[in-house]
Structures are given as C-alpha cells and as structure tokens.
C-alpha cells in the first residue's frame, strides 16, 4: 500500500521516542526515534515494533512517548484533473 492510500484509509503518522538502557551500562539512558503510519487508537504497527524490540533487542525498555497525527483525510483530498492560473 502506498503512503497516500494509507492516509486515505485513516492511517496517520505515529512518532515514538523510545527510551532504553544498554545491557552493559544500565545507568545510561538512550533514546531512539521511530516513525511509521499507524491506526489510532489501537496502534497495531507500534505495538508490533515494541514486541519485536522486546524479543530481539537486548536493551531493556525504560519508557515510550509517542504522538499521532493524521496528515490527510478523505474530506481533504480531491482529484484535480486540471489547473488554471491567472496572472
């Protein structure tokens, strides 16, 4: 699915800031920024990524802060076949 198709189906851009600790340096807090198109309020793509992190990455999660924004909706999009300019 293209980005435009996702936006028209209700997907919005989700940005998450993930705070985690390195296995060898537990006192150091690191951050990782993640972005993808996701559906609110369930956020299935974000939760799949968190499950992947917990299963495959050694850095334990400390906290996650995220925001969600719909860049476009069906009422905001229209098909334009031509454009006229007046100077």
The pLDDT score that the predictor gives to residue 86 is 75
Q: What pLDDT shows up at residue 5?
A: 86
**pLDDT given for residue 80 in this prediction:** 75
Cα angle value 34/46/64 (rounded, 5°): 65
Phi/psi of residue 4, nearest 5 degrees: -65, -40
Per-residue pLDDT at 77 exceeds 80: no
* Residue 26: per-residue pLDDT: 87
Q: pTM for the full model?
A: 0.76
For residue range 59-73, list pLDDT tens digits in order. 999 999 999 987 765
């Amino acid at each position: 699915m293209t980005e435009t198709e996702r936006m028209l189906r209700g997907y919005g851009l989700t940005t998450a800031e993930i705070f985690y600790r390195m296995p060898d340096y537990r006192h150091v807090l690191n951050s990782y920024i993640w972005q993808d198109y996701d559906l609110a309020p369930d956020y299935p793509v974000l939760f799949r990524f968190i499950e992947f992190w917990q299963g495959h990455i050694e850095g334990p999660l400390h906290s996650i802060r995220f925001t969600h924004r719909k860049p476009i909706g069906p009422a905001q999009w229209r098909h334009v076949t031509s454009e006229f300019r007046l100077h």
